[in-house]
Structure 1
Amino acid sequence: MLWIDRQGRILDVNESACRQLGYSYSELVQMSVGDSDPFFTPDQWGRLWEKLKVHGTMSLESSQRHRNGSIYPTEVLANYFEYEGVEYNCMLVRDISRRKAYEQRIQRLTDLYHALSEINQAIVRMETKDKLFPLVCKVAVEFAGFEMAWIGVPSEQRDAIIPEVFYGTGTDYLTGLSFPLMTTDAEQLGPIALSFREARNIFVNDFMSDPLTTPWKARAQMYGWRSGATFPIIQGDTVVAVMAVYAVTTDAFHEEAVTVLDEMVRDIAFALDTFDRELARKKAEQSLYEREQHFRAYFERSMVGMATAASDRRWIEVNPAL
């Protein structure tokens, strides 16, 4: 609780306010609203005060700056009082960091399910990975909310992963990059290579502190990436590609998000198997058609009389020679 005057000066606070902000009582009563709320300018405070005089009570979301410099979201209940001709604002301030984190988590999950739906719809329309892979990267950025997504495939010698398609902010990160698969240097064997070699998902929730990402930290920092994940794309029993996504927040890959992302990659793998089956079916149909045409030509042009008959000895077809 904070008592504040018309000019935004803090007049009185309770112990809870001191704990929340990290200051002593004597320090806080020497401060103003702008010192504790980094987004409140004098003009904004003036407009809020005028509205408060009209309504008497107002509820709003704002933020507070702790003594250590960290900023956290708050819910404020402001109450207007006038006593002996002096105006006061009694503000009840509640830390809503947990609620905001939960809301962001739910929104993230909603975005991921939206992306999963978009990819499943695309799978129905697509016929080849050449069309599917670019769309998957686009959906991961535009619907799932990642900063950048890319899919890499093995080099001809299968000794490195080469980025093939990518989408989003910071694709320059991939310029000139390949990810060695055969290296014995543990530091060079990062998430991309491990996902491919071991056919497993890898999640890095703090890019700057995880030893797996050491060789790429400087580049990632240029683009503000704080977490990343890699997924093997498996066709049949073989890893044929790796997908990577990056986020600008740490801890972007909570348990529910991991479940949805894993399902997304499994659907991509299913699509690849479906594409192969459809291609095999078309090839078989084409082969059958070609054999039939070859036999038809031989049947029609043969100098030897030929015919086909039914089981009851009826003629079905005869060639000109017969």
Structure 2
Amino acid sequence: ALIKKGYAYESSGDVYFEVRKYKKYGQLSHQNLDQMLEGARVDVGEKKKDPLDFALWKAAKADEPEWPSPWGDGRPGWHIECSVMSTKYLGDNFDIHGGGRDLIFPHHENEIAQSECATGKPFANYWIHNGLLTINGEKMSKSAGNYVTVKDVLSRYSSDILKLFFLGTHYSHPIDFSWEKMEATKNAYERFVILFNKIDREIEVTKDGTDTSKMDIFRLKQRFVEAMDDNFNTPLAVGALFDLVNFCNKVLEKKPEMYNFMLYYALDAIKELGNVLGLAFKDIPKDTSDSEIETAIALREKLRREGKFEEADKIREDLKRKGIILEDEKSTTHWRRAY
């Protein structure tokens, strides 16, 4: 179709797209043809009309896969493969096309040119380009051992914490991974854990028919929606979630009139909006009950009397991980919650 329409030509078994025939070329990357020409190259053996022209079909070479075609055996070009897959499964025009920022030019620019010239229709309505991930400030490289797998991360942190780490940076910006940043994200996520357990322990949250439109809850929900409508601004959206946590903590502290139903709506908002971001809050551990703490302290005292101090210390550390702080005195042990 592209050759028949005059947008492509055959040359020594190769087929090239003639870039200057497509007047909108460069619209995605915001470059003009002169800027592109500076970085253009012609590989040995290529017979292009213009250095900017790109391959739709490459003639067969030794040790490469090949298929028969009207121009001889060969293989499709990289760019045409993606256009064919997209239009086969999504149609000539579809809503959203994504990819890394490094693919904007030339790959996505070429996809648009060849697809729109072939079909006569707009290719993708919206383009979403994500920033690249680095590890400790360096590009990921498996050969250099500078990489971390999702499986590695999930062996140490919940999926919610990993999601929160990524959500803290706008999708279009680069993001740098480190275990220190994951630990900081875990500490931030603990604010949800602490709040949910506080409410579960201290009060019975009940629903009420009161209008919440004039409350901070409604305002913060609106702020979340506005952030997501602003090119998926997840850092601002996450900020609105944490402001809802702050709102709940203030309500718990001051206990104003009808605070129960305030907490109901605020918690409902946190879970609803968190779900939009893929946060399930299903891995929030339940608080340790008073009776469980007292039982653990009694066992610890018994082990200490028996001289089993290492085992007794393990109980203290286990309670500490659950947010329970032990304070030993001469004849007894007091405890308190860290939150």
Structure number with larger C-alpha Rg: 1
Q: Same fold (TM over 0.5)?
A: no
Question: Could you tell me the TM-score, scaled by structure 1's length?
Answer: 0.31
